[in-house]
Structure 1
């Protein structure tokens, strides 16, 4: 974004943010692979559908804009709009996708609505929750970063500083479905004899109303009213923090948010508990080798055995809260919030070196030493800072994105569908690690630290940190290639939206390695 005034109309800010996101996608996925991006100082120029575009940029791989993008019309540069860029993309890519323009427009409208709502509602006092609710513009390389399905979502949106009581259901014990440790859920409220309490997201119940009518009528489910405390939604929308039990709860909304339909599939429920069991020893070793490494276990889930739709739709995965794993005096903050341009620390290189040590080293070692693929993108990592604001801990979360490298773990005792959902082959696992860590995460943090200045000093420091780790483990081939500057894989979000494919079908495009 180029930085409109803070009192600019929400619609204008939403347009600027939407245009920037789509233009980044064009550079990375449309014009770049066709050799149609080049530098002509002070501009980056690109050609889309035989139309020349330009903007002043900074931030290296993160591609931040410091001037309003323009297009060349009859020899004169004119302001570029999101709607025009959508038409150019449609022409360039060919074929028919009647959803694409609608999704881009819906995302822009959602951003405007969120900005309007934020003006009237203060952020949470808790700094961690405030950071969770700060991602108004979403993924910087997604054509529709705030597109979401369903209706009535604004009252539950974290970006609107929402908070709300959960609904409590009673599940008759003969149709209760659960695994692992779900004991904390019992403290949300009493249930009649023969029933067990089950928390539910209010939006989730609205979406499932027709399916719930019969079990509510015959007593397999009963409505216990609302919880006594306000739950606070975190950046993932469907995961909330429940202060009464100091736990995060991951619900199953079954609506499309950006690329994915966000639900807890039955095999992911079983997989979360299985991974928590297996990852305990892994994180014990990582925290011993890399002090400050933390994670948020997901020890259990609870639902109702009322057919697959309600088993998935009513499920709640229990997750530890970050405050419960950070040591006293350490404040957890969402990495995605740290990537938003703001006031850099007094010693940015020292801060950055500490950040890379805390975040990158355990991620790389989890893959190389343990065959575990963490998914350290900006919404899956919390960074614990001390009283001076220096990164001293990294907290990894979300078992849905964590996988095991095929061939390095014995999964023979698991159902095939659960085992398949838990694994990546080695090459795919490495691509996922490198994309999330280097492209999605560190590149964005570096751009925010450097501002309009060069990121070169930061990447030199990062290279020193990573080279030291590589030397300590014998310079395995993946790390040698990374340090040698091989191109990095960047997830192709525009391409998967254009193809109307599931997110798991998303491919990668090569981008410049800033360690080169």
Structure 2
């Protein structure tokens, strides 16, 4: 079939102009990037409640999906927890597709054209990220160096590397996988026009003005105004958060669409930063030293989500000499998860902490970016560190049962609904961080069978042990832009007999 790989071609042309030496590696990485994104998309087609998929039937060659328009889509049996690219192509009736963007366009579903464009960009950007990535054998010492190793982005989102609005030059200059140094600037704003939470440092004050740290991309493309030079920093996985040398992490209001949504820093997030930090510290103190919460030192918004910033502790402050702190997403870049004993120990630690906090009244958004693990000198997992409390869920009723005063907050963070609380934790921790670390249903099932029987009994343990696992319906969310907020699906429990193993 004839191909029109617009995003791939555009990036190739830009790359030839700005970094021609990287072009052969980029071209070589394209087939693998297509398969990686197609595997993520096929997972969504098989397991998400997409209204135009009317039936899913196993057949001799794998799985057949019946579409509402009468066509049939065929592909392999799908392991919802697999992170390796195992889908090389699918058949839409008799037409073969190995390109996820072309496949989605051919499906002709509502809002599919826009998402197909994102998938094309995801493929091209993923190939660029892989082409420019550096894979050192030694264990990094700097926190940003660990984050640089997470090249492929979200392990299950088809838009894993979609960065619309970022040119090739932008990606090379700001993408952590390329190892850049980013020169942050500041914008002065009269203090009486700002909302501040916590302590805003003297370094970022000038007379009656507050200096708001700004990402250079934000300054050029959104604020469209010059910034005063401030400090050099290293970008982390989230792209908009950067590590200052020897100092805190700076979360900037880089309002570009990354993976699922346009990110910014709302006034609600700034206002909630201090009480959430206080709550996090109180809860961490009840885990017997198994969890640390990075404190938000200060937060500010200058009346706009596009001009705001947070200063947060580096997770490295919670490492003793000889220990390493690394994001859970980076574990897959090491050999550690290949040891069943190690993976079981890590799973036990993560579930013990997550369930303990859930019982106390807080469901963490414990995916592989927010959750970090502290490793002893012998690489044993000993503690966890959690950062970015902006999207947790808080149950005032559960907190009250444990004698904890709920924070003076309202809005989206607050719920007593057990389904919402369990979705938040199980969807991010089990179907996200642990699944991404394990890499397959078989490996995840082994770790869960080893650890679940020995966990402290809480009301939330039985649903985790027996029920299908909740997971965000990431593709459904992108295809229903008129329904804001999270969409959900359920995945077969990795320990169930119906799960399909692809490893």
Mark the CA change 1:66 to 1:192 in structure 2 (over 3 Å): closer, same or farther: closer
TM-score scaled to structure 1, two decimals?
0.79
Contact 2:249 2:311 in 1 (8 A): yes
Partner of 1:392: 382
Q: Say how many residue pairs are matched.
A: 461
Question: Cα distance, 1:238 vs. partner?
Answer: 0.9
Contact 2:249 2:314 in 1 (8 A): yes
- Following the alignment from structure 2 to structure 1, what is the Cα–Cα distance between the partners of residues 261 and 380? 34
Per-residue deviation, residues 14-45 of structure 1 (Å, max 9, x unmatched): 222222221221121268974414375xx632
- Following the alignment from structure 1 to structure 2, what is the Cα–Cα distance between the partners of residues 482 and 56? 24
Mark the CA change 1:63 to 1:145 in structure 2 (over 3 Å): closer, same or farther: closer
- Following the alignment from structure 1 to structure 2, what is the Cα–Cα distance between the partners of residues 120 and 200? 29
Alignment of 1:100-139 (within 5 A): 100-118=115-133, 126=141, 128-139=143-154
Alignment of 1:262-411 (within 5 A): 262-286=263-287, 288=288, 291-304=289-302, 308-309=303-304, 312-339=305-332, 343-344=335-336, 348-368=339-359, 370-408=360-398
Partner of 2:453: 467
Contact 1:487 1:511 in 2 (8 A): yes
Question: Cα distance, 1:323 vs. partner?
Answer: 0.8
Gaps of 5+ in 1: 214-222
- Following the alignment from structure 1 to structure 2, what is the Cα–Cα distance between the partners of residues 194 and 124? 45
Mark the CA change 1:27 to 1:127 in structure 2 (over 3 Å): closer, same or farther: farther
Residue aligned with 2:163, SS: coil
Per-residue deviation, residues 251-292 of structure 1 (Å, max 9, x unmatched): 112222122110001011111221112222111111x1xx43
Mark the CA change 1:481 to 1:15 in structure 2 (over 3 Å): closer, same or farther: closer
Q: Tell me how large the CA RMSD over aligned residues is.
A: 3.3
Contact 1:45 1:55 in 2 (8 A): yes
- Following the alignment from structure 2 to structure 1, what is the Cα–Cα distance between the partners of residues 406 and 336? 49
Per-residue deviation, residues 396-432 of structure 1 (Å, max 9, x unmatched): 1111112211444588984xxx511321332211111
Per-residue deviation, residues 326-357 of structure 1 (Å, max 9, x unmatched): 222211111112235x63567x1220121012
- Following the alignment from structure 1 to structure 2, what is the Cα–Cα distance between the partners of residues 201 and 124? 28
Question: Cα distance, 1:113 vs. partner?
Answer: 2.9
Gaps of 5+ in 2: 1-23, 497-503
- Out of 82, 87, 94, the residue aligned to residue 62 of structure 1 is 82
Alignment of 1:159-308 (within 5 A): 159-183=177-201, 186-187=202-203, 192-210=206-224, 224-227=228-231, 230-244=232-246, 246-286=247-287, 288=288, 291-304=289-302, 308=303
Contact 2:213 2:252 in 1 (8 A): no
Question: Cα distance, 1:295 vs. partner?
Answer: 1.8
TM-score scaled to structure 2, two decimals?
0.81
- Out of 499, 503, 509, the residue aligned to residue 480 of structure 2 is 499
Per-residue deviation, residues 404-462 of structure 1 (Å, max 9, x unmatched): 11444588984xxx5113213322111111111211121222226x9xxx42xx53443
Per-residue deviation, residues 149-199 of structure 1 (Å, max 9, x unmatched): 43444121223222212113444444454221233xx347xx654444432
Mark the CA change 1:132 to 1:316 in structure 2 (over 3 Å): closer, same or farther: same
Contact 2:267 2:301 in 1 (8 A): no
Contact 1:294 1:326 in 2 (8 A): no
Question: Cα distance, 1:100 vs. partner?
Answer: 1.9
Residue aligned with 2:48, SS: helix
- Out of 440, 461, 464, the residue aligned to residue 479 of structure 1 is 461
- Following the alignment from structure 1 to structure 2, what is the Cα–Cα distance between the partners of residues 98 and 78? 19
- Out of 38, 44, 62, the residue aligned to residue 58 of structure 2 is 38
Per-residue deviation, residues 63-95 of structure 1 (Å, max 9, x unmatched): 644463343765xx95633244213543xxx44
